Amino acid sequence: MKVKIFILVVFISLTSLSYAQQFIDKAIIEFEVKTNVKKSMGTGGWASMLKDKLPEFITKYYKYSFADNKSIYQFDRWGTGPRLPEFMTRGEEDNTWYYNFINQKMNKQKSVFGTSFVIEDSIPPIEWKLTNESRLIAGFNCRKAVGKVMDSVYVFAFYTDEITISGGPCSINGLPGMILGLTIPRVYTSWIATKIMVNNVDVKEIKPIVTKKNYSTKLFNTTLDERLKEFSGSNEDDKQWREQMYWNALL
């Protein structure tokens, strides 16, 4: 009799645990974003002129809001540490990424040398390879995946399938769950989720940017190439700086 009672208790406990596991389909996630500024500048002419005036690291915070399989990722605030000169961050606070995972469409606003462009197109696929490595981020068990964007830029992500949207910071997405940790060594930047708030999600704010002119991904890439050449020419010493500007604009 005691054995039967014990088995019944164990069965009820396991059943309760299985029901207790909740999957989040609506929330606001805060990301802390850290960049090694001096390494990203390289050693060219621009870096030589500015290196003594720039902090080594900068920190900023973004918010990722999602509901109904749609998301918006936006600047929230600067960290309490040192800041970059205004001319280096002009327009950055207005950058916005809207993703609709139902129809696989994206709408994002990116600033290039102070000019804002709205890019509207299909969500480009990212080739991912899952690994067995895992870590805990913001209280969630996350699995590591390695992806490649822009043909040659590797990204290292940690995602959780307990948050059901297939999203992540900036334009990084496509895993079977939400990316809570991200590192892109090529741009010397890391993203880590610090807070996950499941209440007070304003669904009305999760919407695309409306503008008179939208750019396709292809047209934006062409325009970006032209702007970078106008601004910095083809000086080989500044090649790394131009590459950083290019990759950050496309993220």
Domain ranges of the chain: 24-125+187-250
User: Does residue 145 sit in helix, strand or coil?
Assistant: strand
Summarize pLDDT for 145-203 with one digit per residue, the tens. 999 998 889 999 999 999 999 999 999 999 999 999 999 999 999 999 999 999 999 99
Place 10 in a pLDDT band, splitting at 50, 70 and 90: very low
Indicate the DSSP class of residue 152: T
> What is the chain's mean pLDDT, rounded?
86
**pLDDT exceeds 60 at position 42:** yes
The residue count of the chain comes to: 251
- Distance from chain centroid for Cα 91: 17
Q: State residue 44's pLDDT score.
A: 62
Helices (H), 124-180: none
Question: How confident is the model over 241-246, as a mean pLDDT?
Answer: 79
Question: Cα(33)–Cα(67) distance, rounded to whole angstroms?
Answer: 23
- Say what the pLDDT of residue 4 is: 46
Type of residue at 180: L
Which carries the bigger pLDDT value, residue 223 or residue 91? 223
Q: Compare 241 and 221 and report the one with higher pLDDT.
A: 221
Spell out the alpha helix ranges (H) of the chain. 2-20, 37-41, 45-50, 86-89, 217-232, 239-250
The per-residue pLDDT for 19 is 32
* pLDDT in the model for residue 21: 54
Compute the Cα dihedral for 115, 118, 124, 127 and give only its sign.
Answer: positive
pTM of this prediction? Answer: 0.87
pLDDT at position 232? 58
Which pLDDT belongs to residue 229?
77
What one-letter code names the amino acid at 217?
A: T
Query: Do residues 172 and 32 make contact, with C-beta atoms less than 8 angstroms apart?
Result: no
In sign, the C-alpha dihedral spanning 44, 46, 48, 50 is negative
Q: What is the pLDDT of residue 238?
A: 63
